[in-house]
Chains A and B, each alone.
Chain A
Amino acid sequence: MTPLALGLRLVLRGSRATRVRFLLMTLGCALGVACLAAALSIPAILAAHDGRAAGREVQGGPSSGALFLERKDPFGNRPLTRIFISPPETGTVPLPPGVARVPRPGEVVVSPALGDLLAERPALKGALPGRVVDTIGPAGLTGPQELYAYVGRTRAQLPPDEARPLGGYGNRWTAPDEAAIDDGTVAPLRFTLCCLVLLPLFVYLSVCVRLSAEARSRRLASLRLLGLSARDTMRVSAVETLCAAAVGAVLGVGLHLLVNAWVERTGWVGLAWYPADGLPSVWTLAACLLGCPALAYLAGRRHAKEAALRPLAVRRQAQPGKPRRWLAALLVLPGLGIVTAYCVLGVVGVHVEPSAVTSFLVPAGAQLTGAGIVLALPPVTAWLAARVAATTQRLPLTLAMRHHETTPGAALRVVSGLVLLVYAASLTQGVLVELDQVSRRTAPNQEYEVPLRQVTPEQRTAMVKTEGISGNAVAAEVPSREGDILFATCTELEKLATPGTVRGCVDGRPLALHDPFAHTEDTKQPGTTHLVKLRDEAGQEAGSARFTVPEETVTFAAVQPSALSSALLLVPPKTLPPGVHPAHARLVLSGAPEPEAVQATLDRLAGIAPTAQIDPVGIVIESLRQLSIVKGLLGTGMVLGLVIGVAAFLVSATDRAMDGRRRTATLTLLGIRTRTLRAAQCAQVLLPLAVGIGGALVAGRLAESSYLVTGGGAVFWDGEGLPLLLLSGLGVLAVAGLASLPMARRHLDPELLRRD
């Protein structure tokens, strides 16, 4: 009988435990291959997204005779893009990708997601004037959840100074303006996802490979003693892992295809894609269907090494070798050294700019630290267990610590998945804090800017009076572009500035504006004169007005960020003649800062002036969109990591309990109490887990801070997430402790006491 046939026979005709182990290994491999296929498909998904974004970019040019105007506004954390098209009276208009015909004036073509949204929010129809006549196909959208519309308008309805001639559309091979994820974000994202998903998965697979390790090793050692060569013994062992990995790989690819088809219908991860984008390539299939089984074969051989080389020791259940301390030290010391060094730099206030060196050192340090923590767990906890066992008076602790002391590797397999998850959660928090710095709003209000020339006086009045708008002003840019003149009353200034900070304001005369938190410019020096060009309501030039900076000063603090930050002069609105306004000015509106209120206000403003560019100050929609995608992906990674980590814990803890049945049977025969057995089982799980989670929290904190110190952001130390992490750690401990209790069954099976 060949090793292959023998291995197959052992798998197919094995006991119930063998079949359960095979099933778990297959499931683990399937999950791993599905994650791997998803990770390998991400570049293709991003490329498809960017290709279609580039292919539908509107190009200016005189060839078609049509005009277009592009508006991009935030809708929640998604951009809402509207392309206003005014077709010529004669001739053809280039067709946008995914659109059957160009909308005529009064017609709208929307993406399916925007169509659904319109049905939910009738107020949004104001921003999309016209009748929806068609939907955009996948060729014209970056993803199924995108909010995109082509709006047909007459030439008179488009602002003449902004509408441009429509020449055509881009092509897939140019870089788009709106990449799915910034190049700078991709690397930390991949790294964090790897930590979140692949590390717990690696632990899970190694747990599956080692299931029923004691019984299997004894069986393999018996085969070796019966005359099987060392190489063949390892082959017999590898056949099982190979079969499980091969079946698992096929299932995993199938699972990936299922999820790929399902993602289209959800906006769950912020980056929903079309099924065709996420189909695995030939290389991905090769890596999944050939690479994974090959790795599993090698892992199976490696597992049988001990039984093949030391069969007698395995049969006699000799004491396992002590865990290797030097390997853990080799990883954890340099890793901690790197992250601690950057933390020290952060403590002393040194701002480390992002560079090639930091982008290599910080991930390397984090990886080394994570791997080092896991490898350091067995020697550290074994040492600790020996000390506790020697000093404690409690029998459960003695039993648990002595058991752990002799088999720290088994405990490592039980807890390392959860420890790595907690460590990765710290890192994830660092990435989120770093990203959050671009979008975090702490201002007491939200400002909106609308170019004055894009709205009629009636629209302007309607905007000022619309629900949700509490303050308004007109900010005119001075010709030197070094600041703004603010046309507002003292009451209006108080509504725009940080509450309670306006001092010395008197209505009826121009006053210098001074914000102590802003830079002092020469333009604010008393006596400096600024010339402002004026236009009438028809848009015709109406002369100019001259304003001199007076001695009298109003002190105020602008919210951050604010359109008022560069204001240097406060001028009463009545100073200007009726029916005249500054030529280069913006209408500044102020409202509540809550995201829901902002969205409702944007809907209303867009309904009043559909083609006007309404800019919510400080909201960078591209950053928000990317943040949403990154948060979604990290959230998915966290959930996957949690599932895999918990699965690894449960599988290995159950397996350990099964391996320890003989020991439990002996203790039960000797009359051990249930509570003593449970306490011992609980302590056995909790000691390595508590040490591991403690280490992971500290090391994760250091790694997170080193990432923030080198990330170029302003926040180095993030205390907000610490209570949540600590609570999560305690929660993991509590759940693990409780989960270990049912495994301590005092059932006594005489079979376990039978003679060998």
Chain B
Amino acid sequence: MYPNPAPVLRARGVDVRYGAQLAVQGADLTLMPGEVVAVTGSSGSGKSSLLHCLAGVLAPAAGSVSFEGREYGALEDEELSALRRERFGYVFQHGELLPELTVEENASLPLRLAGQRKGPAHRAATPVLERLGMGELVGRRVSQLSGGQAQRVAVARALVHEPAVVFADEPTGALDSVNAAAVLDEFLTLARGRGTAVLLVTHDEGVASHADRRYVMCDGRISLGRGVPSPATGEATARSAS
């Protein structure tokens, strides 16, 4: 079913704790290359905690997360940073752009952080920005942009370095439905075109419907959505992952 059957990201029995509180409990999740996976659930169900854990921001209290076979627990902080810098991309609800930088500087930031010089980095960012309809606004500060425009810049920043995985946390949560649909279309089209896997965290059923596969979270427990094929068998299942 997939060109490369080896999963790019795998979580097994992951627990995430905040002190005594268990935010995620025994989560199993697999992400294949080029696949768009959605994790849905109500507020406080543990979606963002799971995303942060998969992105290497939060260390799991139990279980393991591995990227391309390398377990996070075996990596030093610098190695994990390098992974986030070079292989991961991020899109958040509010973009989390740096307001003092221009559109071009924000979009090319991952390349600059990876050591590229300003000129080549800007040149690499330009086509991505153009595809997202931001070609005319490269010199603007992001504080001068609308919400939709800022989110496009965030998408460009997430994809400019051609990452293996993009983590998207409510990527269209701050946008109206028209803008949300447009940005999401552009985002997923670009990601699929580059073979990038996308982990999409959202509580919006409309957004989740764009995914190839869907997980549902409830009180920290994750399960495959109804009628969604399992990555391992291709058959529809409703088995709880825990």
Residues 56-91 of B, flagged 1 when their CB comes within 8 A of A and 0 if not, give: 011000000000000000000010011111101010
- Complex Cα distance, B98 from A672, in Å, reads 13
Query: Which B residues are CB-close (under 8 A) to A156?
Result: none
CB distance from B70 to the nearest CB of A (A): 16
Q: Which of A319, A667, A668, A754 contacts B143 (CB 8 A)?
A: A319
Question: A669-B90, A673-B81 are known contacts. Are A750 and B105 too (CB-CB below 8 A)?
Answer: no
Any B CB within 8 A of the CB of A565: no
Q: Give chain B residues whose Cβ lies under 8 Å from the Cβ of A676.
A: 113
Smallest Cβ distance from A395 to chain B, in angstroms? 5
- A671–B55 touching, CB < 8 Å: no
Least Cβ–Cβ distance between A411 and chain B, in angstroms: 12
Distance in Å: Cβ of B203 to nearest Cβ of chain A: 10
Contact of B117 among A393, A406, A663, A756 (CB under 8 A): A393
Task: Report the Cα distance A673→B78, complex, angstroms.
Answer: 8
Residues of B within 8 A of A672 (CB): 81, 85, 113
- With a CB–CB cut-off of 8 A, which chain B residues contact A754? 48
Chain A CB within 8 A of B92 CB: yes
Whether B143 pairs with A671 at a CB distance below 8 angstroms is: no
B12 at the interface (CB under 8 A from A): no
- Please measure, in the bound complex, the distance between the C-alpha atom of A337 and the C-alpha atom of B94, giving whole angstroms: 50
Q: Kindly list chain A residues whose C-beta atoms are within 8 Å of the C-beta of B113.
A: 395, 667, 670-673, 676
- State A402–B118 Cα separation when bound (angstroms): 14
Over the window 84-125 of chain B, the binary record of Cβ atoms lying under 8 Å from chain A Cβ atoms (1 yes, 0 no) is 111010101110111111000100011011100110000000
Contact with B along A664-703 (1 / 0, CB 8 A): 0011111111001000000000000000000000000000
| Residues 346-404 (chain A) with a chain B CB within 8 angstroms | 392-393, 395, 398-399, 402-403
* A318 CB–B CB distance under 8 Å: yes
Do A398 and B112 contact each other (CB < 8 Å), given the known contacts A393-B118, A406-B141, A663-B98? yes
In the complex the two chains form, what is the Cα distance from A756 to B96 in whole Å?
11
B210 on interface, CB distance cutoff 8 Å:
no
Asked if A57 is at the interface of the complex by the 8 Å CB criterion, the answer is no
Q: Nearest chain-B residue to A403 (Cβ)?
A: B100
- Given contacts A407-B100, A673-B113, whether A753 and B52 have CB atoms under 8 Å apart is yes
Provide the residues of chain B in CB contact with A399, threshold 8 Å. Answer: 98, 101
**CB of A748 closer than 8 Å to a CB of B:** yes
A755 contact set on B, CB distance < 8 A? 48, 92-94, 169-170, 173
CB < 8 Å: which of A319, A663, A753 contacts B141? A319
Quick one: which of A399, A668, A746 has the most chain B CB within 10 A? A399
Does B144 belong to the interface (CB within 8 Å)?
A: yes
State the CA gap A668–B58 with chains docked (Å).
Answer: 13
Number of A-B contacts (CB under 8 A): 88
Q: Which of the residues A319, A395, A662 comes within 8 Å of B144, measured between beta carbons?
A: A319
- Chain A's closest residue to B157 (CB) is A670
Q: Which residues of A contact B101 (CB under 8 A)?
A: 398-399, 402
Chain B residues near A393 (CB-CB < 8 A): 117-118
**Contact (Cβ within 8 A) B81 A671:** yes
Given known A-B contacts A398-B112, A754-B48, A755-B169, A669 and B93 have beta carbons under 8 A apart: no
**Is A529 part of the contact surface with B, judged by Cβ < 8 Å?**
no
- Say yes or no for A494: interface residue by CB 8 A criterion: no
Q: Cα distance A395–B57 when bound, in Å?
A: 23
Determine the distance from Cα of A398 to Cα of B112 in the docked complex, in whole angstroms: 10
Contact with A along B119-154 (1 / 0, CB 8 A): 000000000000000000000010110000000000
Q: Is the CB of B48 within 8 A of A670?
A: no
State whether B85 touches A750 (Cβ < 8 A): no
The interface residues of chain A lying within 8 Å CB-to-CB of B144 are: 319
Contact A402 to B100, CB < 8 A, known contacts A317-B143, A669-B90: yes
- A405 located at the interface, meaning its Cβ lies under 8 Å from any Cβ of chain B in the complex: yes
- The total of chain A residues at the interface (CB under 8 A) is 31
Cβ B169 vs Cβ A402 within 8 A: no
Contacts A319-B99, A319-B141 known; A670 to B90 CB distance under 8 Å? Answer: yes
Q: How far is the CA of A398 from the CA of B101 in the complex (A)?
A: 9
- Most chain B C-beta atoms within 10 Å of own C-beta, residue among A318, A393, A670, A755: A670
A317-B143, A319-B144 as given contacts; A670 in contact with B109, CB under 8 Å: yes
Q: List the B side residues contacting A667 at CB < 8 Å.
A: 98, 113
Residue with the greatest number of chain B CB neighbours at <10 A, chosen from A318, A662, A672: A672
- Chain B residues positioned under 8 Å from A748 (CB to CB): 57
Residues 402-432 of chain A, each 1 if its beta carbon lies under 8 Å from chain B, else 0: 1101110000000000000000000000000
| Bound-complex Cα distance A668 to B82 (A) | 11
In the complex where A319-B141, A406-B99, A671-B81 touch, is A398 in contact with B105 (Cβ < 8 A)? yes
Check if B100 sits within 8 Å of A753, measured CB to CB: no
Known: A398-B105, A398-B112. A671 touches B82 (CB 8 A): yes
Q: A317-B143, A669-B90, A670-B90 are in contact. Are A402 and B98 (CB under 8 A)?
A: yes
Provide the residues of chain A in CB contact with B114, threshold 8 Å.
671
A398-B143 contact in complex given A317-B99, A673-B81, A755-B93, C-beta closer than 8 Å: no
Contacts of B170 in A (CB 8 A): 755
Question: Considering the chains assembled together, what is the distance between the CA atoms of A607 and B138 in angstroms?
Answer: 88
Nearest CB of B to A749, in Å: 9
Q: Are B98 and A666 in contact (CB under 8 A)?
A: yes
Beta-carbon nearest neighbor of A318 in chain B: B143
Bound Cα distance from A755 to B93, whole angstroms: 7
Residues of A within 8 A of B105 (CB): 398, 402
Distance from B192 Cβ to chain A, minimum over Cβ atoms (Å): 23
The smallest C-beta distance from B72 to any residue of chain A, in angstroms, reads 14
B84 in complex: contacting residue of A403, A405, A670, CB < 8 Å: A670
B171 CB → nearest A CB, Å: 11
Whole-angstrom distance from the CB of A327 to the nearest CB of chain B? 23
- Which residue from chain A places its CB closest to the CB of B48 in the assembled complex? A754
Q: Within 8 Å CB of B83, what residues of A? A: 671
CB-defined contacts of B98 to chain A, threshold 8 Å: 399, 402-403, 663, 666-667
Q: Which residues of chain A are within 8 angstroms of B93 by Cβ–Cβ distance?
A: 755-756
Q: Which of chain A's residues have a CB closer than 8 A to the CB of B49?
A: 750
CB distance from B241 to the nearest CB of A (A): 22
Residues from chain B with Cβ under 8 Å of A402 in the complex:
98, 100-101, 105
Flag if A753 contacts B118 (CB, 8 Å): no
CB distance from B121 to the nearest CB of A (A): 9
Closest residue of chain B to A398 (Cβ to Cβ) is: B105
Residue of A nearest to B90 (CB): A669
Known contacts A407-B100, A755-B48, A755-B170: A671-B141 contact under CB 8 Å: no
Contact with B along A319-331 (1 / 0, CB 8 A): 1000000000000
**Shortest distance from the beta carbon of A119 to any chain B beta carbon, whole Å:** 65
In angstroms, Cα B49 to Cα A405, docked, is: 35
Give the CA-CA distance A373 to B99 in the complex, in Å.
28
CB-based contact A750/B48 at 8 Å: yes
A245 to nearest B CB, angstroms?
33
Known: A402-B105, A406-B99, A748-B57. A671 touches B86 (CB 8 A): yes
CB distance from B92 to the nearest CB of A (A): 7
Residue of A with least CB distance to B88: A671
A755 to B113, alpha carbons, bound, how many Å? 25
Choose from A406, A407, A671 the contact partner of B85 (Cβ within 8 Å): A671
Q: Which residue of B lies closest to A407 (CB)?
A: B100
Complex CA distance for A693 and B128, rounded to whole angstroms = 44
Neighbouring B residues of A317 by C-beta, 8 Å: 99, 143
A-B contact pairs, 30 of them (CB 8 A): A318-B143, A319-B143, A319-B144, A393-B118, A398-B101, A399-B101, A402-B98, A403-B100, A405-B100, A406-B99, A406-B141, A666-B96, A666-B98, A667-B98, A669-B84, A669-B96, A670-B90, A670-B110, A671-B84, A672-B81, A672-B85, A673-B113, A676-B113, A746-B81, A753-B52, A754-B48, A755-B48, A755-B93, A755-B169, A755-B173
By Cβ-Cβ distance, the 4 closest A-B pairs, closest first, are A671-B85, A406-B100, A671-B84, A319-B143
Taking Cβ atoms with an 8 Å cutoff, the residues of B that contact A are 48-49, 52, 55, 57-58, 78, 81-86, 88, 90, 92-94, 96-101, 105, 109-110, 112-114, 117-118, 141, 143-144, 169-170, 173
Given A750-B48, A755-B48, 12 more pairs with CB closer than 8 A: A395-B112, A398-B112, A399-B98, A402-B100, A669-B84, A670-B85, A671-B84, A671-B85, A750-B58, A755-B94, A755-B169, A756-B94
